[in-house]
Amino acid sequence: MTSAIRFNQAGGPEVLELQPTEVLHPGPGEVWLEQEAIGVNFLDVSQRKGAVPVPLPGGLGLEGAGRVARVGAGVSHVAVGDRVAYATGPLGGYASARLFPAERLVKLPDSVSMEDAAAVLFKGITAQYLLKSTYAVGPGSTVLLYGVAGGLGSIMAPWAKHLGAFVIGVVSRPSSVDKARALGCDEVLVFDAQTLAADVARITGGKKVDVAYDPIGRASFEASLDSLRPRGLM
């Protein structure tokens, strides 16, 4: 018997229920995946609370890793026993096993653990498009990066440094400064909306930053905007 965490209505953690589920045979293009690790994201919390609506009753979880236990017709790029991972859904990752579209699975090399794959893949995809597609960070880029000590920030900071950028990290508390420096930030600021833009101008000699990655919003919007060079991107 397998199990999954599901919920019938939006609310706090108390709405989540562990429910037994049946082992299913995959249809065409699907696999039955026995999961060994799942990723937990803040988006899951927003969906559970109802801030981001999802179909109900339903499940949560957009990423996970495990082994292929069964394959449906037409599946050729993965086989029974393969170590695989996925990110971005469909929803239902909070489960010991599940059906999943085979085309959305990636094989894992032996050097990558199930736990690392489940925790990093969704955030890694996000970091990739922010650093490569949204704005092409490279040598000479100056980056303002909030949330350096968090999951996404801890991927983006060293990646931006690897690409050749000068990284100004922003953290919410002094206790996170050392971690931000260890991740490669050239300068670290503890967030203060009243002084942040002036600090950025000082650090950059008045040039300010090419791109600001700001996930906060209202509290930091003006400070981030004032930290951008002309035609910079936020």
**What is the dihedral sign for C-alpha 161, 127, 189, 198?**
positive
Within the chain, which residues score under 50 in pLDDT?
Answer: none
**What type of residue is 31?**
V
pLDDT value for 217: 85
pLDDT value for 214: 95
CA distance 71 to 28: 8
pLDDT value for 1: 82
How do residues 100-139 score in pLDDT, each as one tens digit? 999 999 999 999 999 999 999 999 999 999 999 999 999 9
What is the value of pTM for the model shown? 0.81
How do residues 4-16 score in pLDDT, each as one tens digit? 999 999 999 999 9
pLDDT value for 177: 96
CA distance 204 to 232: 14
- Domain architecture of the chain: domains with CATH: 2-119 (3.90.180.10), 135-233 (3.40.50.720)
